[in-house]
Amino acid sequence: MSDFAFIKTTCIIPEEYREIPYDKLMRQLNPNFKISELITPYQVLGFLHGWVRTTRDGNIKENFYIINKSLASEILASFKFAIEGLNPVVTAESIELTDEELIQKIRSNDTVYFREFSIFRSLFPGA
């Protein structure tokens, strides 16, 4: 996975919204924000290979976007621009993940999307 870079977004869900599914909550509180408008072009162009959402400590939603290393800074800038002003606050940062850490994130997913699963298949032994 050495050709990949990772963007992590983090959102702390306030207690009063804890029971609402994350997607639904974001749509409800940010009707003008559509994550698909941000990520779909990158998927179609082959710069975004997949993403994983996990939940930490019950209310911290973390999304890990697997992107092309060559465009990492441009994509991060797009993310930061797009998430500005969201409620609840979402932050974005560039991080590094080893294969083992990526596998752990995928295994603990709430949701996972692979644009080309064949790229990732070799990470895992037989099911």
Q: Is 46 left (phi over 0), alpha (psi -120 to 50) or beta?
A: left
126 binds another protein (CB under 8 A): yes
Residue with tokens 């995928």: 106
In angstroms, give the least distance from the CB of 117 to another protein. 4
Report the site for another protein in 50-79 (rule: CB under 8 A).
53
Is residue 66 within 8 Å of 50, Cβ to Cβ?
yes
Interface mask toward another protein for 4-43; x: CB under 8 A: -----------------x-xx-------------------
Q: Helix and strand tally (H, E) in the chain?
A: 5, 5
What residues line the site for another protein (CB under 8 A)?
Answer: 21, 23-24, 53, 106-107, 109-118, 121, 124, 126-127
